[in-house]
Every structure is written in structure tokens, then in C-alpha cells.
Amino acid sequence: MLVRKIGFVSRTYRHVNRYRQILGVMIKFGFGDFIDRINMGRYFESGMQFVTRSTTKRLDTLTRAERVRMAIEELGPTFVKLGQILSTRPDLLPADMIAELEKLQDDVVHVPFDDIRSVVEEELETTLEQLFERFDVEPVAAASIGQVHRARLASGDEVIVKVRRPGISSRVKVDLEILHHLASLAEEYVEEAQLFRPVKIAEEFARTLENEIDYTVEASYAERFANQFRDNEAIYVPRIFREYTTSRILVMEYVEGIKASKLDRLDGEGYDRKLIAERGADLLLAQIFDYGFFHADPHPGNIFILPDNVICYLDFGMMGSVDRRSRDELADMVFAIVQGDERKVTDALLAIVETEEDPDRRLLESDMSHLIELYAFKPLKEIRIAQVLNKILNLISRHRLRLPFDKYLMIKALATTEGVGFMLDPDFDMTARAAPFIRRLKLQRFMPGRIVEELMDTGGDAVKLFRELPRETHDILRQIKQGKIRATFDHRGLEPLIQSMEHSANRLAVGLVAGSLVIGSSVMIGLEAGPFLFGISAVGLAGILLAGLLGVYLFFR
């Protein structure tokens, strides 16, 4: 990972110049009070003496949000990227700050072509002329991290070549380490910042930017994405040329298509906008609910429409992933909203979010009830998923909860896709497209294979626990005997805990029995041991049925 904690030597010699720039910009735009609050001078006496507060501008006519945006723009690529990511997080920032950060753009000058040539030839260890039949000097696009050129390989394949800017990796690494340190100071000294866990945000941002800088990660994402839909004719994923791709260069097939936002061209060339909207929604819902790996930035600029209304995704630098449990939790929440059950919605929401302390459950359910009332009696086609999700995000922020980054990316992707769908087809109904996926996900939990799989997982975990318990207990007793552990026991109020442990132990025992029945019954069926019922071992069949009943019992407990 690019980010690490800053040690004494690093901050004295390696980071001092960049710290001086950052502190100077913060003071220039009126954030000297923040520097004082995080006790910066205590850590950087050697650098603070070079920073003067006399450079502060008259900022009376600017709002705090405007000053934040201007400071970020002056601080450069790393901070611009951070601002762009935070501009999509209404659960973390107020509306006025979001509006300003949305104005941030990668407004950068082009890297001279000689520098691009040097990077390509250094990475691929040969000359540009030997690799490419043609390599356009003028870039197609330029951003803070990389620059994109069109080219034709010696094989005749038309490609785009994304080249990382020279020196950007070391610059980003230093900035990330400084950001991590600033976040740790804010978390330590600024009480209101502790709620948002700025250190965790800095670490999540570092992982995101690290993946964006390493083009082999984007190449792997694109190939995994393509593999998911290899048999789906409604989608096309550009080919990655692995033999020419490194951490600093990405070579991808050039695709000629129409951007999803070019409605006039789509109409003029006879494309079916309604079908495109439905396909786009189905593809994203499949990514989330079927595969758990999805394109996290499906805005119109990253979607091309090809002949026969085929959808082509571009730019795989930001992808999201959600495990099966997270998908189940989202389905539970949406299903409970439709049912109008605020208790179940609250349970599902609390399973999704992170929190340092338990929220006021009664107040949270009350707010959730008001939210449900807005949609309880509306036809499904009138319910906008983006509106529902935004209200849930506002509720999360109001109750001082925090949404994990990947789950936020999932919500953002759903909202973005719904917006693209409405742009293509004013009658588009995202809720109707999502309903079959959610129903299928709910039904899958009751499939015998899923029940058996979860029982086997539980049984395996229990066996591992019982196998390791004697050794772990022996180690603890040995440390107590050696005086390394001292424990004081206060037995007041343990009755609820004991009762809870007894219930848990009972459920664990039932799970072990059910798992054993599945294994034993399978053996009996395989051995074809009589007597038989419908040609199947009656003993084995009875064992499977009993295990299924125990599994249903565990599920409802």
C-alpha cells in the first residue's frame, strides 16, 4: 500500500517541503484555526518556522466550502482526487460542500510527447517504432494521473494507450502519507471529526488511488469483468493487450461507439433507447446481485453504445465488490421498505453500516417510519431508487452512522445507472427492473444447496473451534500461572450473558447435529443401504429431511 505512518526521519527530511506547501495553502485560504486545533506545531517545529500567516488573503466574500475547493485545486492531483471522491459522499459532507467539490476537474496540462515516449520505451524495453505502426502525438485525454493516446500496434490492432505521468507515483505517495498523518491528528484533537473516522477514510482513499495508479490492477479488473459476461451478447468489454501492459502503461482495444449521452446521434442512427436503458439496468443489477463485482462509475462518459444496442463499458479504474452477506442485507432493506416494516428496515440498515456506539434505536425506527410513509402507498413505477437511497444516506448521516466505502459505491452505481436510464427513456422504471433480482436473491436463501452450504460452514467453524479450544485454554492458563495475565471477576449482572451463551451453545449443537446428519445420510445414500423408499435409502432420506428441518429451525431462531 502506498500510504504508511510517517516516522520522525520522514517528516523531518523527506516531507518537510511538501508540508510547508500544504500548510501555506491552508493558511492562505483561512484554515489556520484547523492547524492550531490539530496541534501541528508540536510535530513539525522544523517546518512550521518557514510558514507565515501573513499570506492569508481577504476571503470575506467566499464561503468555507468555496475556500476548501480552491485550496484543494491549488494542492494538486492527490487532493483533487480526494475532493472528487468526497463529492460523492453526502453521508460524510454537507450539501454546500458537496456542491463545491463537484466543480473539481482534472485541469492539467499535457505531458510532452518526449516524456510519454520515454515512459513507454523504458517500460517495454524497445523503441516506439518497433512496437507501434502509428502512435498519435496529440493525446485523446489528459488527467492528473495519466494521459491517453491513440495508436496502432504492429499487428494492425487499433488501441488506446494510457500512460502514467512521470514522477506522479512518488508525489502521490508523499501526499498520501501526509494525508494519513493529518487525519490521525484530526481524529486525536478534533472531537467532531472522530465521528467520521478520518484515518479510515484516508486509508480507503489510499487503496483507491493505489489501484488507479497501478494499471495492472485496472487490466485485471477489466478481464474479470469481461469473464463475468463472456456469454452475454448485450455487453462488450474491450480487450486488454497484456503483453504491452505494465504498472505504468495500459494498452486496451480502441472501440468506436456512441456515448450514452449523445441522444441525438442514437436517435439518428436508429438505436432503441428504451432497450438500451433496460439492458444497462439489468447488467448493473446482475453485477451487484449475481456476481458481487461491479463497475463503480457507470456515468454516460464511461458507456459507449455499439451496433445492435450493445453496451460497452470503459475505464475500469474504479470497481466495487460486495460479498453475499452485503447483497442479502441490501435486499432485506429494500424488501422491508416495500413491506412498510420499519423494524426490519432498521435491522437491515444497522447490519450494513458501521458505528462506534449504538444509536438511539427508537429514534432511528421513528425516522425510518417517516421515510417508509413517503413510499408505502406509491406504485412501484413512481418510486425512484436514487431518491430512496439518498434519503437513507441522509438518515445515516443524521444518526452519526457510517457507510463502508464499497457499499456506498454500490448505492452510487445504482443511482447513477437509474439516472442514465431516465436520460435514455423518460418512462424508465428502475424499481421494476430490480424487483426480480431481489426476489431471486431472497428465494435463494431457502434453496437446499444454500442451506446445506451454510450448515457445513457452521459445522466446520464449530469443529475448528472445538479443536483449537484446548490448546488456546492451555496457553491462557500457562500465562496466568506465569503472572503474565491477571484477571479480576465481578459476577454482577451476568445472568443475561449466561442465558445468551446457553442459547448460542444450543444452536451450535443443533448446527453440528444437522451437519453430521447431512454427511452421514449422504454416505448412506451413496452406499445404497436398505431399506429403500422410491429407490433411495430410507435411512439416508430421513436423515436429510431431519437435517433440513433443523436448518429451518436454526434459520428462524
Cα 79 to Cα 373: distance, rounded to the nearest angstrom: 41
Cα 239 to Cα 301: distance, rounded to the nearest angstrom: 19
Question: Long-range contacts of range 86-95, CB-CB < 8 Å, 24 or more positions apart?
Answer: 88/408, 88/412, 89/408, 90/390, 90/393, 90/394, 90/397, 91/393, 91/394, 91/396, 91/397, 91/402, 91/403, 91/408, 92/196, 92/201, 92/397, 92/402
- Is 377 exposed, middle or buried (CB count within 10 Å of its CB: 0-12, 13-18, 19+)? exposed
Residue 58 corresponds to which cell in the numbers above? 481577504
Q: Which of 64, 71, 134 is nearest to 99 (CA)?
A: 64
Q: Could you count the other beta carbons within 10 Å of the beta carbon of residue 378?
A: 11
Q: Which of 371, 23, 357 is nearest to 194 (CA)?
A: 357
Residue 178 corresponds to which cell in the numbers above? 501526509
Cα 331 to Cα 318: distance, rounded to the nearest angstrom: 23
Query: Kindly report the CA angle at 359 between 357 and 361, in degrees rounded to 5?
Result: 145
Q: Are 354 and 440 in contact (CB under 8 A)?
A: no
Of 175, 214, 282, 297, the catalytic one is 297
Count Cβ neighbours within 10 Å for each residue of 328-365 and write b for 16 or more, e otherwise. bbbbbbbbbbbeebbebbbbbbbebbeeeeebeeeebe
Residue 225 corresponds to which cell in the numbers above? 469483468
Cα 237 to Cα 322: distance, rounded to the nearest angstrom: 21
Neighbouring-strand partners of residue 161: 149, 251
DSSP secondary structure of 67-98 = HHHHHHHHH-HHHHHHHHHHTT-TTTS-HHHH
Q: Using alpha carbons only, how large is the chain's radius of gyration in Å?
A: 28
Helix runs in 1-44, H state only: 8-9, 16-28, 32-37
Residue identified by cell 453440528 is 512
297 has catalytic annotation = yes
Q: 288 vs 268, 459, 483, 498, CA distance in Å?
A: 33, 29, 52, 40
What residues act catalytically? 297
